[in-house]
Structure 1
Amino acid sequence: MSGNFPTAATAAEILDCVRQTRPRVHCLMNTVVQKFTADGITVVGGIPSMTTSLEEIESFVARADALTVNLGTLDSERRKVIRIAIEIANASGKPWIVDPVHVDYSPSRLAFARELIALSPTVVRGNHAEMTLIGDVPNVVRIETGPVDHLGDATRSVRIVNGHPWMAKVTGTGCLSGGVIAAFMAVEKDALTAAASALAVTGVCAELAAKQARGPGTFEPAFLDALSEISGDAIINHARIENAQG
């Protein structure tokens, strides 16, 4: 599936592989969105785990195929757990993504995010304000989300044009997409291809869900339904993955 540039067809193939292999994704997740993120990973075909226990984190990450780290809710114990989880992931070569949530709100959070990024994540994903503070991240897939998602690595730059404004009105859609990216990285070694494919799939599903919903309240379950039901043909017909280098 790996290639020089991600395509809609590649995204469809990776989703099918996730559904067939059911990768395990361990989530150190914002406590506000744990269930929504777990549901999203489950409906695309992955197996989520969510524990933040110091006594259990080593065992859970060792069993996982990928790790997602979200800084949405932090305390001293969670910081310890995150450091242990990353150590285990790095030691075993597992892909991991860090979402530096609200680093623009807190200097200590920004410092912690920079500490984690120095540990060589596979992907760093944040919104414009967050990624402006994070700056360049060499040797990492850098994602800046927004109405158009911008992704890049050392040699490639990609835009994902799919999505819907209601995604910004439902808490956790970005966190969920981070979990889906982790699931895709578990089966696709090219991290840019995995991340672009995951964002294209979630973006297409948001567009399809919005057609069935009346507003943000009905959009959330419709979005999960779309993630569960999306077909390869729908991805190929609707995904807009653009080369941003031209």
Structure 2
Amino acid sequence: MSYGTAPGLGAPLPALAGNLLTELRQSPRRIHVITNAAAQALTANLLLAVGAIPSLTVSPEEAPAFTARSAGLVINLGTLDSERRASIPWSIATARQQHLPWVLDPVFVESSPQRLELARLCLAGTPAVLRCNAAEFSALAVTEASPEAARAFAQDHGTVVAMTGPTDLVTDGARAIRIANGDVLMTRVTAIGCAGTALIAAFAALHPDAFEAAAAALLTVGIAGEIAAAKADGPGTFQAAVLDALYNVRPPDILERARLA
């Protein structure tokens, strides 16, 4: 499978990831995140660690204004209380009006018909990226998760599917890449995936190709997970080590460690 090159840069994906990380550190972008209660602190800290600026209000009175002054938006369906339900459509509408990239993270849509219905309504707003796991994708697509199904779904919905798992798959329907970086400890700490979705939005705010931005972000988070796992004693120290790894990782680390197919 081909992951292409960065338009105007001629850089393969690992180099692009390093370039975007460097640019984000030098020119911070504000990302507004409507996420679940368990993920808020880690998401904010992850964005700060890579040089971005988080905002997290879920108030329907405020979220659209915060979205309008941001460079990207994340919608995470993990905690669907009344405030989040009310603020999500207005924030998506604002992002579309402002031509901002936004990322949908349909957490546990396979567990709740109401959540699945909302996720499908969100998809009608054409997110730049759908970041999901295989179970969430299967619920949305009403088919078994596979590279072929992900390609078809991305093409039909005009979005990038970033399906995470032991090996991540990113596709826009025409292109696809698998990313093998990461560590099992990433599944032992709540909200690592949710927080990583915010890096997709931050990279998409810097780079017009959402497929490449999503792949670069997942590659970066996966490599940070590997670096952190080598230093951590378990899940408790792993969470802090991931933030340290994202703060310290440099482009040569990404070039050296990237495992792509």
Same-fold status (TM-score > 0.5): yes
User: Which of 52, 55, 65 matches 2:61?
Assistant: 55
Task: Give the structure 1 partner of residue 251 of structure 2.
Answer: 232
Task: Give the structure 1 partner of residue 178 of structure 2.
Answer: 159
Structure 1 moving runs of 4+ over 6 Å: none
How far apart, in 2, do the equivalents of 1:162 and 1:180 lie? 16
User: Which of 191, 194, 211 matches 1:175?
Assistant: 194
Name the SS for the 1:40 alignment partner: helix
Task: Give the structure 2 partner of residue 46 of structure 1.
Answer: 52
Report the TM-score when normalising by structure 1.
Answer: 0.95
Name the SS for the 1:27 alignment partner: strand
Give the alignment of 1:203-214 within 5 angstroms: 203-214=222-233
Q: Which runs of 5+ in 2 are unaligned?
A: 1-5, 142-152
How far apart, in 1, do the equivalents of 2:7 and 2:223 lie? 21
% identity of equivalent residues: 43
Task: Give the structure 2 partner of residue 87 of structure 1.
Answer: 93
Task: Give the structure 2 partner of residue 69 of structure 1.
Answer: 75
Structure 1 residues 133-142 or 194-203, which shifts more? 133-142
Name the SS for the 2:109 alignment partner: coil
How far apart, in 2, do the equivalents of 1:140 and 1:230 lie? 29
Deviation at 1:197, TM superposition (A): 0.4
Paired residue type of 2:199: V
RMSD (CA atoms)? 1.3
Deviation at 1:6, TM superposition (A): 5.0
Deviation at 1:120, TM superposition (A): 0.6
How far apart, in 2, do the equivalents of 1:141 and 1:77 lie? 28
How far apart, in 2, do the equivalents of 1:5 and 1:157 lie? 17
Whether the 8 Å CA contact 1:67–1:182 is kept in 2: the answer is yes
Deviation at 1:59, TM superposition (A): 1.4
User: Which of 207, 213, 216 matches 2:235?
Assistant: 216
Higher relative contact order (CA 8 A, sep 6+): 1
How far apart, in 1, do the equivalents of 2:227 and 2:59 lie? 37
Task: Give the structure 2 partner of residue 34 of structure 1.
Answer: 40
How far apart, in 1, do the equivalents of 2:26 and 2:7 lie? 17
Task: Give the structure 2 partner of residue 2 of structure 1.
Answer: 7
How far apart, in 2, do the equivalents of 1:177 and 1:30 lie? 13
Whether the 8 Å CA contact 2:61–2:87 is kept in 1: the answer is no
> Given the alignment of the two structures, is residue 123 of structure 1 paired with residue 129 of structure 2, yes or no?
yes
Whether the 8 Å CA contact 1:24–1:66 is kept in 2: the answer is yes
Name the SS for the 1:68 alignment partner: strand
How far apart, in 1, do the equivalents of 2:17 and 2:127 lie? 22
Task: Give the structure 2 partner of residue 12 of structure 1.
Answer: 18
> Given the alignment of the two structures, is residue 198 of structure 1 paired with residue 217 of structure 2, yes or no?
yes
Task: Give the structure 2 partner of residue 144 of structure 1.
Answer: 163
Cα distance change on mapping 1:5 and 1:161 into 2, 3 Å: farther
